């Protein structure tokens, strides 16, 4: 059996004996065919505007508007979305004052070059663009309290806009259930206080805070409330294929359109877990595998098929390093992954630490599984410091895994771990 694992802007080739492969878990999004262009798909969705007035109607009589846009860590094809949102808003109100607000959440700020890559030079040159900073208290304002009890503090531009709308894309998410929709507000343009409260250890540990689950998910409940309190009125969310091309779009009411998109996506992403001794996965290639922080997502897909003590092989380029200093230091400085996990579970909501959710999930996985990390040589020491094992290439990782689980060990392959919902 030969499989291709996305890795940066290329792929790694995996060859295994057929008799040792228990299963290959792939999203079926590649089977979704659409004869329209990416632009036409988006425009058709906006013409339907599910559950809401059109963007043109919403823009009438409004003085100011904010479009929340994705940041550099998300493969949202903004060039196929933002121009049409701008065009329709100005068709309804030529004088409306529009700001593009980059939803960085808890990530670093998006650079000028990354903005050009995402939006194109024309939009960067001609539009007002602000980059959200969750740590800048002067730029953020409290607008309410979340169901969890955490203060809801968001970017002042979003809070004070006459019209608040957003773009985004829908994919399975490892603790919010799905990305998109309400996530543009929380964590997208929320203050660190709000993000930390929402991402507390109790919520992350909930059995409902898992990939593909929205019902009873406490993290989703907070996020939905945040979007409502912020007054988010309209979204354009897309679904992309493995080549990151738009294959479907949903627009309109933030909750109706998002729910429709999630229900649509489920039928293409659900796969049944196939237990195996060794599970091999990737994080979707660039930009999704740009750092170790993001790659915890695909580990959760592998975790679901790795039994109680299976070996996980993760392939990720990690051009942007660890992706979070707190994330890195917590794993580096802990006595063991299990000790770190047990300590996190004692931390109350109002004492949640930056990146805690990410290293909580990684520590949970490492408490049960050996993780072999196929990445750039420059990352070798960091991988080791973070309680994982470095492998210079995929073939070497397979040999190392067999040394642990036996020469005749079984394999499950999940080429793109963030594209599937692995159900038990």
Q: Please say whether the beta carbons of 402 and 312 come within 8 A.
A: no
pLDDT for the residue 316: 98
**What are the Cα distances from residue 289, in Å, to 111, 416, 417?**
18, 10, 11
pLDDT for the residue 63: 98
109 and 73 in a common domain:
yes
Which has the closest alpha carbon to 108: 140, 74, 133, 83? 133
57 and 126 in a common domain:
yes
Q: Identify the active-site residue in 49, 72, 107, 132.
A: 107
* pLDDT, tens digit (0-9, with 9 covering 90-100), for 127-148: 999 999 999 999 999 999 999 9
Higher pLDDT, 197 or 107: 197
How many residues belong to the chain? 424
44 and 21 in a common domain:
no
Domain boundary among 250, 268, 286: 268
371 and 245 in a common domain:
no
201 and 283 in a common domain:
no
Which residue(s) pair with 15 in the sheet? Answer: 2
Largest pairwise CA distance in the chain: 70
Tell me if residue 173 is catalytic: yes
281 and 405 in a common domain:
yes
278 and 383 in a common domain:
yes
281 and 249 in a common domain:
no
244 and 293 in a common domain:
no
* pLDDT, tens digit (0-9, with 9 covering 90-100), for 155-184: 999 999 999 999 999 999 999 999 999 999
Strands 232-240 and 163-169: parallel
pLDDT for the residue 32: 83
**What are the Cα distances from residue 282, in Å, to 131, 245, 377, 418?**
29, 19, 17, 8
Is residue 308 very low, low, confident or very high in pLDDT (cuts 50, 70, 90)?
confident
Domains held by the chain: number: 2
Q: How far apart are CA 42 and CA 238, in angstroms?
A: 8
Domain CATH number, residue 345: 3.90.226.30
pLDDT at 374 over 90: yes
321 and 220 in a common domain:
no
42 and 18 in a common domain:
no
Please report the beta strands in 8-132, taking only residues with DSSP state E, as ranges in sequence order.
10-15, 21-24, 64-70, 97-103, 128-131
Q: Please say whether the beta carbons of 54 and 88 come within 8 A.
A: yes
Domain boundary among 268, 300, 324: 268
59 and 16 in a common domain:
no
Alpha helices for 270-333 (secondary structure H): 292-303, 325-333
Residue carrying structure tokens 């894309």: 169
* Average pLDDT in the chain: 96
Tell me if residue 49 is catalytic: no
Domain boundary among 217, 245, 268: 268
Domain CATH number, residue 193: 3.40.50.11440
* pLDDT, tens digit (0-9, with 9 covering 90-100), for 226-269: 999 999 999 999 999 878 899 999 999 999 999 999 999 999 99
pLDDT for the residue 29: 85
pTM of the model: 0.89
The domain of 300 spans: 2-25+273-423
Q: Identify the active-site residue in 132, 173, 199, 220.
A: 173
């Amino acid at each position: 059996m030969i499989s291709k694992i996305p890795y940066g802007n290329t792929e790694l080739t995996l060859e295994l004996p057929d008799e040792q492969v228990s299963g290959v878990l792939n999203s079926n999004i590649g089977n979704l065919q659409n004869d329209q262009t990416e632009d036409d798909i988006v425009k058709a969705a906006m013409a339907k505007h599910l559950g809401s007035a059109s963007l043109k109607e919403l823009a009438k009589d409004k003085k100011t508007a904010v479009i929340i846009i994705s940041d550099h860590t998300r493969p949202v094809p903004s060039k196929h979305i933002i121009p049409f949102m701008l065009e329709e808003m100005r068709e309804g109100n030529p004088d409306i004052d529009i700001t593009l607000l980059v939803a960085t959440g808890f990530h670093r700020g998006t650079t000028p070059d990354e903005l050009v890559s995402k939006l194109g030079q024309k939009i960067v040159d001609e539009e007002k663009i602000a980059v959200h900073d969750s740590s800048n208290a002067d730029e953020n304002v409290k607008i309410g309290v979340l169901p969890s009890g955490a203060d809801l503090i968001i970017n002042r531009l979003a809070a004070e806009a006459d019209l608040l709308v957003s773009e985004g894309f829908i994919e399975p998410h490892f603790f919010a259930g799905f990305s998109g929709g309400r996530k543009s507000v929380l964590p997208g343009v929320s203050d660190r206080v709000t993000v930390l409260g929402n991402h507390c250890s109790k919520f992350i540990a909930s059995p409902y805070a898992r990939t593909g689950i929205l019902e009873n998910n406490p993290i989703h409940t907070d996020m939905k409330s945040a979007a409502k309190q912020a007054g988010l009125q309209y979204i354009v969310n897309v679904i992309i294929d493995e080549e990151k091309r738009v294959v479907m779009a949903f627009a309109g009411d933030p909750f109706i359109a998002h729910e429709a998109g999630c229900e649509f996506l489920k039928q293409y992403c659900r796969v049944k877990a196939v237990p195996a001794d060794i599970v091999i996965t990737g994080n979707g290639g660039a930009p999704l595998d740009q750092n170790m922080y993001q790659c915890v997502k695909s580990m959760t897909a592998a975790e679901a098929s790795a039994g109680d003590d299976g070996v996980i092989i993760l392939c990720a380029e990690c051009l942007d390093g660890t992706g979070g200093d707190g994330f890195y230091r917590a794993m580096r400085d802990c006595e063991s992954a299990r000790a770190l996990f047990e300590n996190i579970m004692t931390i109350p909501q109002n004492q949640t630490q930056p990146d805690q959710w990410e290293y909580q999930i990684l520590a949970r996985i490492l408490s049960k599984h050996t993780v072999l990390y196929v990445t750039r040589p420059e990352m070798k020491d960091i991988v080791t410091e973070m309680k994982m094992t470095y492998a210079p290439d995929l073939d070497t990782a397979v040999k190392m895994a067999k040394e642990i689980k036996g020469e005749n060990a079984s394999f499950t392959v999940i080429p793109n771990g963030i594209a599937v919902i692995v159900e038990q």
